[in-house]
Amino acid sequence: MSTVTTQYKVSGMSCGHCENAISEEISKIEGVSAVKAVAATGEVTITSSGPLDDAAVREAVDEAGYDVVDAA
């Protein structure tokens, strides 16, 4: 099975707590196997078993208290 890597730009991250909050929410999405959030760049890289529902990712980021500003 192949994996899919998706990147998002998220605004408002400033520390490790921010990274963890976003990673925790996105990890709840079915199929997600890894999440790497980097506060310094605002980048969130998601590895999943297939294409992700963009709306689900945006909702998870919103639930963590942040905003997706761009999807790569």
- Cα separation, 13 vs 29, in Å, equals 20
How far is residue 42's CA from residue 25's CA, in Å, rounded to a whole number? 16
| pTM, to two decimals | 0.92
Is 3.30.70.100 the CATH number for 4-71? yes
Measured in degrees and rounded to the nearest 5, phi and psi for residue 65 equal 100, 20
Name the residue among 72, 65, 70, 71 with its Cα closest to residue 13: 65
Q: Taking the domains of the chain in order of start, what are their residue ranges?
A: 4-71
- pLDDT (tens digit, 9 = 90+) per residue, 4-35? 999 999 999 999 999 999 999 999 999 999 99
